[in-house]
Structure 1
Amino acid sequence: MIDPQESTLLEVIEREPILDRTLAWAAINSGTANIAGLEAIADSLADAFAALPGEISLVDPAPVEKVGSDGKARQIEAGRHLVLRVRPNASRRVLLTGHMDTVYSADHPFQTCDWIDAETLHGPGTADMKGGLSLMLSGLQAYERSDPALGYDVMINSDEETGSLSSSALITQLAQHKIAAFTYEPALPSGNMARARPGSGNFAAVIRGRSAHAGRNPQEGRNAIVAAADLAQQLYAARRDGLSVNPARIEGGAANNTVPDLAILHFNMRPRTPEDLAAGQALIDSAVANVTSEHDVAIHLSGSFARPPKPIASATDRLFSLVSQAGADLGETIGWEDTGGVCDGNNIAAHGVPVIDTMGACGGAIHSPDEFMMASSLVGRARLTALVMHRLERHGAGL
């Protein structure tokens, strides 16, 4: 149950400041490619999180390349990532992460918030995850009232929605020597949290054949479109339980009277376990070798399994037990279920850190114009953060 010290800690958490920040941040378009919007939200986040002790920095993104429709890789621009370090010399430290970017571009029609009912806020990024960032801050502010000794880092990146490619090295760095981690992806409308997650890999296979006249000498050509279609078929045919394969798009081609010499196959794979990931990589290598030989083409593969699978270890079970007990003491029953999605929790777990990655607001229909957040969850989830941090400091030595 909640003891008197914990009650004093939690009573300062109020709905209005959390909701006001959520509305203000949701009003700033911060689609992953909207660099100006990302700078604006980063500045606002830095001002807000300055209420916590510690040092805030905005970290430049690592270089990232993307294959264009011409088959050439070009560097893409990314926003800066916010890092706050609190008590960096503490013997026991925690990592809390979130993302400032959304899936809604600067010209997307979904730009404003409105109320579906008194407790359901419809708006871009409200659940995923500006509400989560706001309640994280309120939870940490409350925790700081307890004369705390636990150290922590907060990392809010600008490119989670596109795979955290420019922030993965930063996540790796910050995950080192942490006893636990919390990521503020939205919980389900029921309040349930994500348990195990598969991994995810995004790839682009650039296929170069040989052009020729489609009527006069087609036999001298090497059709890149046909090779790309064969590669897609071979990959898709090898899908199985534990390894999904999604050929998503083929670019390239030429005029109808020309054998096309360029095609680009974009595909995604989702392995459930590390063993499935190894099998997926072997499948890619085999299919690329087969198509290269059978069609006499050259294939250059870009991409990787940037999100490793997130299985559940015993330390993660213990961390969830602490979180679920705290939730129960706050009057909330929290379930735990496997999910098909991926997030920065995958990357953190890959470094052996137990992580609960759906500590954010409850909501749904994310990544769509119907996205909503349940405002009624804001105070409860902020209190959960404060209580879990407090108990992790005092009772979490077994993690």
Structure 2
Amino acid sequence: MRGLSSFEQSVMESAADAPMLAQTEKWAAVNSGSRNLPGLAAMTTMLADAFASLPGAISLVDPAPVETVRPDGALAMVAHGSHLRLSVRPEAPVQILLTGHMDTVFPADHSFQALRWIDPVTLNGPGVADMKGGLAVMLAALRAVETAPDAMQLGYDVIINSDEEVGSPSSAALLQQVATGKLAALTYEPALPDGTLAGARAGSGNFAIVITGRSAHAGRNPQEGRNAIVAAADLALRLKAASGAGFSCNPARIEGGSPNNVVPDYAVLHVNFRPKTFADQQAADLLLKDVMAMIAREHEVMLHLHGGFGRPPKPMDAQAEALFGLVRQCGADLGISIAWRDTGGVCDGNNIAACGVPVVDTMGVRGGDIHSDKEYLIVDSLAERAQLSALTLLRIAQGHFTTGVKA
């Protein structure tokens, strides 16, 4: 480890010695799918106990109310789990944010529930990479940093939300509130298997369009009906055809319909947009509204739009490049090569960057095949990434990153 002071080397040893594998195995054994409220409650208790080893105040934050569109087009409230917040030294001169999520994409009835060793250094299991391993890395890094004198210069908030995998609808306002004014942020999504980080990210918008037509007998007087399913299909095809260089559109699902002898009078179209820039997001939003107006006029139906762009695009601006540069230098001092590339995936890093806060959002473990039953964690990366985070945090505390520019 070249370029490290003696106390930095001591902190690195502390980070690597943390029981991260045991924590990851324990946490991954608990199903905490985004809709599994009992599982999320169990995870919240376990995480609160673990993060209580850090100084500061731990609190549970109630989820914000969230509406969803049911298959019949009606609106309903959807429940989410509580979010965990830890606040340490809010009076310190340097303030940063660290975030992670406790939920996974695997519901309580999913077949993928158990851990399995693929080989001596590769662990397969639900959430081992995304991101229970990342939470263990975050905790190990923070505990190690707390052993250093420079820690007194560093204040931080930790947010671990329960709904990241469904777009953070009940925690977005909390993230915005806590991120505002922070110098920088680190988020613990997994890196790629070779350690590559996510740089710029596209944005994401999820929409449900409720189409109301008019029912009629399919044989006797179909001309008097207004077919909502046909209108939804036409809308889906036009939106998909308009996908271009700036954004993509994925029509994901059409719900509704009627018996075969009835012209269907309602349908719900669910679509996702992925804009690359804020200008692309505005273009996609305008397109959606324009095409909806055409469908309403040509099919003589009514349309109601629900949803929005919950994940703004995350560009690589000068501040973000400076923070990535600091992480890369820390990696070099540890003998780790750090690279990054743009991605179409989204996470809470999008929301944090939208607050004007530079963020590196793949500080978690190296792993792969996330969101599938082949998800795996490269176990050696636990110590590696804990050291990378700990050194980055120390260098921030030492003033190597100020107002988005390396000191």
Q: Same fold (TM over 0.5)?
A: yes
- 1:331 and 2:342 equivalent? no
C-alpha separation between the residues in 1 aligned to 2:403 and 2:174? 26
Return the match for 1:350 from 332, 346, 354.
Answer: 354
Q: Return the match for 2:319 from 292, 315, 319.
A: 315
2:168 paired residue number: 164
**How much does 1:388 deviate?**
0.5
2:380 is equivalent to residue 363 of structure 1: no
Superposition map of 1:189-268 within 5 A: 189-268=193-272
Deviation at 1:234, TM superposition (A): 1.2
Secondary structure of the structure 1 residue equivalent to 2:343: coil
Q: TM-score when scaled to structure 1?
A: 0.99
Give 1:122's aligned residue. Answer: 124
- Note if contact 1:194-1:337 (Cα within 8 Å) is conserved in structure 2: yes
The match for 1:340 among 340, 344, 347 is: 344
Q: Write the distance in 1 (CA, Å) between the matches of 2:335 and 2:381.
A: 12
Give the aligned residue type for 1:293: R
**1:15 and 1:378 in contact (8 A); partners too:** no
Cα distance in structure 2, aligned partners of 1:90 and 1:70: 52
Query: Does the 8 Å contact 2:183/2:403 carry over to 1?
Result: no
- Distance, in Å, in 1 between the alignment partners of 2:240 and 2:319 is 36
**Equivalent pair of 2:87/2:157 in contact (CA under 8 Å):** yes
Superposition deviation, residue 15 in structure 1:
4.9
Task: Compute the displacement of 1:398 (Å).
Answer: 4.5
The Cα offsets for residues 261-283 of structure 1, whole Å up to 9 and x where unpaired, read as 01110110000000000000000
1:4 and 1:16 map into 2 onto residues whose CA distance is 19
Alignment of 1:181 onto 2:185 = yes
1:396 corresponding residue in structure 2:
401
CA distance in 2, matches of 1:205, 1:85: 40
* CA displacement at 1:328 relative to structure 2: 1.0
1:38-53 alignment, distance < 5 Å: 38-53=40-55
1:103 alignment counterpart: 105
Partners of 2:258 and 2:15 in 1: CA distance: 61
How many residues align structurally?
Answer: 399
- What one-letter code is carried by the residue in structure 2 that aligns with 1:97? T
Alpha carbons 1:99, 1:158 under 8 Å: kept:
yes
Deviations 1:37-95 (A, max 9, x none): 00000000000000000000010000001111110110001000000000012232000
Paired residue for 2:275?
Answer: 271
Greater shift in the superposed pair: 179-188 or 9-18: 9-18
Q: Report the Cα distance in structure 1 between the residues aligned to 2:327 and 2:261, rounded to whole angstroms.
A: 64
Give the structure 2 partner of residue 12 of structure 1: 14
Change (3 A) 1:252 1:398: closer
**What is the aligned partner in structure 2 of residue 35 from structure 1?**
37
CA distance in 1, matches of 2:130, 2:75: 30
8 Å Cα contact 1:61/1:167 also seen in 2: yes
Amino acid in structure 2 at the alignment position of 1:65 = E
CA distance in 1, matches of 2:16, 2:199: 29
Q: Deviations over 1:193-238 (max 9, x none)?
A: 0000000001110101000001111111100001001111111111
Equivalent residue of 2:160, what SS? strand
2:299 match: 295
Residue of structure 1 equivalent to 2:89: 87
Q: For the residues of structure 2 that align with 1:109 and 1:379, how far apart are their CA atoms? A: 30
Asked if 1:78 corresponds to 2:77, the answer is: no
Contact 1:85 1:153 in 2 (8 A): yes
Counterpart amino acid of 1:350? Answer: A
Q: Secondary structure at the match of 1:196?
A: strand
Structure 1 contact 185–359 (Cα < 8 Å) conserved: yes
Q: Distance in 2 between matches of 1:154 and 1:13?
A: 18
Unpaired segments ≥5 residues, structure 1: none
Mapped partners of 1:216, 1:89: distance in 2: 75
Q: Percent identity?
A: 58
What residue identity is the alignment partner of 1:337? R
The answer to whether structure 1 residue 26 and structure 2 residue 31 are counterparts is no
The answer to whether the 8 A contact 2:206-2:308 is kept is yes
Contact kept, 8 Å, 1:203 with 1:266, in 2: the verdict is yes
TM-score (ref. length: structure 2): 0.97
**SS, match of residue 13 in structure 1:** helix
RMSD of aligned residue pairs (Cα, Å): 0.8
The Cα of 1:16 is off from its aligned counterpart by: 6.0
CA distance in 2, matches of 1:366, 1:38: 19
Q: Distance in 2 between matches of 1:123 and 1:348?
A: 28
Aligned mates of 1:307, 1:168 — CA distance in 2: 9
Query: Which residue identity lines up with residue 95 of structure 1 in the other structure?
Result: L
Q: Which moved more, 1:193-202 or 1:82-91?
A: 82-91
Query: What do residues 105-137 of structure 1 show as CA deviations (whole Å, max 9, x unaligned)?
Result: 001010011111111000000000000000100
Separation in 2, partners of 1:377, 1:23: 15
